[in-house]
Structure 1
Amino acid sequence: MATSRARPVGRRLLRFAESRKNLAGCAGGLAGLALTFTGAAGSYWPLVVAGLYGAGALIAPPERVAAPHFPDAAEQLDVLREDFVRLRQYLASIQLPPAASGRLTELDGLLDALVAHGEWHTDPDSFHTLARAVREDVPEAVETFVRARWWTRFTPGNEPPERQLEHQLTLIHEELTTLAAALQDAETQRQESLTHYLKDRRRN
């Protein structure tokens, strides 16, 4: 316990030793020692050294506080791809009805294609939609189905929970299909713009 308490104290002392105020104070203190060696400080040299150290520490510029680091688009995409791998591992451990399993297979293929897409920095809103599907919509739909399925043994005759799951997966698939279509349209427009540019350049 004593060692763990000593470490933060040691780190604080090290940060102070490397700080601008301490370095400027040390420079002032060295100037005071120089005056002492030349005899200019006289018998009051300890006060001179301490005073110059304090003056140097006071006039030193404040420490620069590092700006917070926020993950860029590439880092966010890498994290999302890792989350998608974990989602797949989770889904592989759940036994689903054939219809829901088929719908989930289609959704998995679409998600795989979207996650592989690397131009999300130009469309943060669409990236948010994709991330929400991976981290919230799909796992929540499956987890809710698992919990509801457990209760069917006590409440026979109610609507089978797999129907709700199929409906939810269909809605998620439709939303992501719209997203994929928008991406395709953007790529088509980019391709057409390049064609027009090459034609115009040739005319000129």
Structure 2
Amino acid sequence: MATSRTRTRPPLAGALVYLESRKNLAGSACGLLGLALTFTGLAGPYWPFVVAGLYGAGALIAPPERSEAPCFPDPAEQLDALRADFATLRAYLETVELPPAAAGRTTELTNVLEALLDPGWAGGGLADDPEGMHTLARAIRQDIPESVDTYVRTRWWTRITPGTEPPERHLERQLDLLHREAEKLAAALHETEVRRQHTHTNYLQGRVSDGP
């Protein structure tokens, strides 16, 4: 029998949240005003309705509750997590037997990725490039593991169905494409650093030219 996994908030917890809400605080303040009118005799015999009405009015005019904005990991934390995933990927690749050509391409690719993740060099520029970080994360967490795992599974079937295209050819093409993508990312990060250097040079030249 299927069961629902929807979690409902306990009634007591919901009541406590409302007690601390702006609507209840504003309504209570207006309700106290109604009690003050009752004690002074201004509310008359209808004081329960006056108190309830003022409480409701205060709850209605109170500003709505503001939800807290979600807190996501900063770029430095994302890079640390990506480096940990890259270490996991390299450990996995060491357990897989690849043909020489594919193994060489894998080494070239992982060397570029390692350089991109180096905390002392390209890592700083990568943290300022969300698209680049997404590209790198996709390669490490999805593309490379899927390429290698698909090769391993296809190779097993090729043994019992000879005559088909060798799966290592597809693997080599995939690794070549991923290597080109990683080099393109590295070139873009390098270009960013070059522009930053030129900008700083122009700033210094302008500061000296405008000086006394």
TM interval, shorter chain, is 0.7 to 0.9
Per residue, is there more helix in 1 or in 2? 1
5 Å matches for 1:30-109?
30-67=32-69, 73-109=75-111
Alignment match, 2:193:
187
Please give the per-residue CA displacement for 1:37-90, whole angstroms capped at 9, x wherever unaligned: 333334333222222211211222222344455665445434433433333343
Q: RMSD between aligned alpha carbons?
A: 2.9
| Mapped contact 2:23–2:63 kept (Cα < 8 A) | yes
The equivalent residue for 2:143 is 137
In the alignment, the residues of structure 1 paired with residue 7 and residue 166 of structure 2 have an alpha-carbon distance, to the nearest angstrom, of 58
Counterpart among 146, 154, 159 of residue 148 in structure 1? 154
2:131 aligned residue: 125
Taking only the aligned residue pairs, the percentage that are identical comes to 62
How many residues are matched?
A: 201
How far apart, in 2, do the equivalents of 1:86 and 1:11 lie? 41
Normalising by structure 1, what TM-score? 0.80
Report the residue type matching 1:162 in the other structure. E
Checking the alignment, whether the CA contact within 8 Å between 2:75 and 2:128 is kept in structure 1 is: no
CA shift in 2, pair 1:148/1:17, >3 Å = same
Which runs of no fewer than 5 residues in structure 1 stay unpaired?
Answer: none
Letter in 1 for 2:12: G
Take 1:193 and 1:7, find their aligned partners in 2: how far apart are those partners? 55
- Counterpart-to-counterpart distance in 2, 1:193 and 1:55: 59
The unaligned stretches of length 5 or more in structure 2 are: 1-5
In structure 2, do the counterparts of structure 1 residues 36 and 198 end up closer, same or farther at CA, with 3 Å as the change threshold?
closer
